[in-house]
């Protein structure tokens, strides 16, 4: 199974280093020296990590064969993809790979069916579960413990505790009217 583990950012310095936007909770495992990563687009790779270091809170990588700023800048926005055993799970029981979440049934705490997870969206400061409802509509659920308190892989379901308005606009209006009273 392939997992996107990073996106290459801009060049750093003149010796071929690039910044990377890390998209894995295990960068030391996936983005260490010697790692060979597939790319999207595939024509840019595979890339082998030669060195890595943290500078001002950002991970910098240098790839074999990339020796100057021009070559590094040509890699900008390329996705780095690691091959992972589909049976592998993260060490932390509170972490999940995207493929583990896709197609899970989504229910509220009281058991009301909401839909199925169709996609996991990774924004810079927030992960979202894109839930496809039975009527074909989609709802974006922030993937935080307060809203998604339980992921049960054995039962193939995600339990959510949605705030007013997340699933139904009329709930937001009711909550707003209560606050106005």
Query: Tens digits of per-residue pLDDT, 51-101?
Result: 999 888 889 999 999 999 999 999 999 999 888 776 666 666 677 878 788
Quick count: other Cβ atoms within 10 Å of Cβ 27?
Answer: 16
Assigned fold of 98-180? SH3 type barrels. (2.30.30)
Question: What pLDDT score was predicted for residue 158?
Answer: 94
The whole model's pTM is what? 0.59
Question: What pLDDT score was predicted for residue 86?
Answer: 65
Q: What percent of the chain has pLDDT over 90?
A: 48
CA angle at residue 179 from 176 to 181, to 5 degrees? 110
More confident residue, 115 or 28: 115
Written out in words, the top-level CATH class of the domain with range 2-83 is mainly beta
Contacting residues for 131 by C-beta, under 8 A, at least 6 apart: 106, 114, 115, 116, 117, 118, 138, 139, 140, 141
- The rounded distance, in Å, linking the Cα atoms of 73 and 9 is 8
* Residue range(s) occupied by CATH 2.30.30.240 in the chain: 98-180
């Amino acid at each position: 199974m392939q997992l996107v583990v990073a996106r290459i950012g801009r060049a750093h310095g003149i010796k071929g280093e690039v910044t990377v936007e890390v998209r894995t909770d295990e960068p030391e495992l996936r983005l260490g020296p010697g790692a060979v990563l597939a790319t999207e687009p595939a024509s840019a790779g595979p890339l082998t990590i030669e060195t890595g270091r943290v500078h001002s809170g950002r991970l910098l990588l240098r790839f074999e064969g990339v020796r100057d700023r021009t070559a590094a800048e040509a890699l900008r926005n390329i996705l780095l993809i690691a091959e992972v055993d589909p049976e592998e799970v993260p060490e932390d029981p509170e972490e999940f790979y995207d493929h583990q979440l896709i197609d899970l049934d989504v229910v509220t705490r009281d058991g009301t069916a909401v839909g199925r997870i169709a996609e996991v969206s990774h924004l810079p400061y927030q992960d979202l579960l894109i839930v496809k409802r039975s009527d074909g509509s989609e709802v974006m659920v922030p993937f935080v413990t307060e809203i998604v308190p339980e992921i049960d892989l054995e039962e193939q379901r995600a339990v959510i505790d949605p705030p007013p308005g997340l699933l139904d606009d009329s709930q937001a209006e009711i909550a707003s009217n209560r606050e106005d009273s």
